């Protein structure tokens, strides 16, 4: 960590006594512990929590405080303050002292978060340094999908930012007799989680899914929180959403539209067979009742099929020849189309 004024961090004057420093730290630790915040606010809180822990470790130690008061930011000979595995940091006993004897660490968090915590002490030194047991926080994330992909179902793999229990300290926040140098006493580290999701059979925009155990890790053996995932459906080339109504493009070859056809189309309820009447023209709209998306109340909207006419991407020589002959015949009969309006008399 880069140097910051420790007195300003704790909000105490430079002549503050040990009691005032401890009181200020206790108040700020309760305010900025990451488990009291959600989302981006938790990230900011974690950084603040580490800063105030660093400040308290220095100002609560008379020898370190003396050097700090004398040399300021150069109190460690100009080096950044970054506790390493072999450096002395705030011990568990010092943490206990900061929050009072008797209840100490566990009572502090019980008061802060209103939860039950367990402690396991063996002999003079704690076997699990201030180990407390509570469930990890739930986290929220959005998953954006093209509508066509959501309707196709199956599994999708995606990544979300998250956290995991710190492997160095086992999630306790303490290592041996000191604050864990890896996680700064928070008990967890940031990471990216990869999730394989089976898409729901009835997707809709804004649908919220709860994925068990994919939230923040628990502390002291507590179970992890959940991931609250919100589906965000986006229009694509084939589909668009209008409320609970699903609108779909159905592209036909000219001869299919003229002769009529039966075409399979994926809808929100599965695959539906669309019967296209003979002589159908581009722009015609057909309604498939109850084949649209389901709204929050469980009611299904309709699927509106909009007919478009286009040529296949690849034509055979025979098809090209037939189209050329069709064009010559249309010109001779005066039935060419310009600007969307038919000219001439088709009869």
* Token pair recorded at residue 308: 């478009």
Within 8 A by CB and 6+ apart from 247, the residues are 239, 240, 241, 303, 304, 306
Residue 201: band (very low, low, confident or very high) from pLDDT cuts 50, 70, 90? confident
Residue 94: band (very low, low, confident or very high) from pLDDT cuts 50, 70, 90? low
φ/ψ of residue 171, rounded to 5? 90, 5
All domains in the chain, ordered by first residue? 6-126 (1.10.287.110), 139-233 (2.60.260.20), 237-312 (2.60.260.20)
CA–CA separation, 184 vs 76, rounded Å? 19
Burial (CB count <10 Å: 0-12, 13-18, 19+), residue 6? buried
Q: Bigger pLDDT: 121 or 304?
A: 304
What tens digit of pLDDT does each residue of 281-302 get? 999 999 999 888 888 777 888 9
Start-to-end CA span in the chain (Å): 86
pLDDT score recorded for residue 210: 92
Reported pTM: 0.54
CA–CA separation, 201 vs 292, rounded Å? 13
For helices 18-32 and 40-59, angle between their N-to-C axes, nearest 10 degrees: 170
- Strand 125-126 and strand 303-309: pairing? unpaired
Instruction: Give percent of the chain with pLDDT exceeding 90.
Output: 13
Q: What is the DSSP-derived secondary structure letter of residue 74?
A: G
């Amino acid at each position: 960590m880069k140097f910051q004024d420790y007195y300003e961090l704790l909000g105490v004057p430079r002549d503050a006594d040990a009691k005032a420093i401890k009181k200020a730290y206790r108040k700020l630790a309760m305010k900025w512990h990451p488990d009291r915040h959600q989302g981006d606010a938790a990230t900011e809180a974690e950084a603040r929590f580490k800063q105030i822990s660093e400040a308290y470790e220095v100002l609560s130690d008379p020898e370190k405080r003396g050097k700090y008061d004398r040399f300021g930011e150069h109190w460690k000979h100009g080096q950044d303050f970054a506790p390493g595995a072999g450096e002395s940091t705030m011990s568990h006993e010092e943490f206990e002292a900061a929050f009072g004897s008797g209840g100490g660490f566990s009572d502090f968090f019980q008061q802060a978060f209103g939860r039950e915590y367990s402690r396991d002490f063996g002999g003079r030194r704690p076997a699990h340094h201030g180990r407390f047991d509570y469930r990890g926080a739930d986290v929220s994330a959005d998953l954006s999908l093209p509508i066509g992909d959501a309707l196709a179902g199956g599994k999708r793999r995606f990544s979300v930012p998250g956290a995991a229990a710190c492997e160095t300290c086992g999630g306790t926040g303490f290592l041996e007799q000191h604050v864990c140098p890896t996680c700064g006493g928070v008990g967890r580290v940031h990471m990216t989680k990869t999730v394989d999701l089976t898409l729901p059979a009835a997707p809709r925009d804004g649908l919220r899914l709860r994925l068990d155990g994919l939230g923040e890790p628990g502390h002291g053996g507590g179970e992890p929180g959940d991931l609250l995932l919100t589906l965000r459906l986006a229009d694509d080339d084939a589909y668009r959403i209008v409320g609970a109504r699903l609108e779909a493009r159905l592209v036909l070859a000219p001869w299919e539209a003229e002769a009529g056809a039966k075409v399979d189309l994926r809808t929100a309820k599965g695959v539906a067979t669309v019967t296209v009447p003979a002589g159908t023209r581009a722009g015609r709209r057909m309604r498939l009742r109850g084949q649209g998306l389901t709204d929050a109340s469980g009611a299904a909207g309709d699927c509106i099929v909009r007919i478009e006419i286009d040529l296949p991407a690849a034509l055979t020589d025979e098809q090209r020849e037939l189209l050329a002959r069709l064009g010559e015949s249309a010109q001779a009969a005066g039935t060419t189309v310009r600007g969307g309006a038919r000219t001439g008399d088709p009869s």
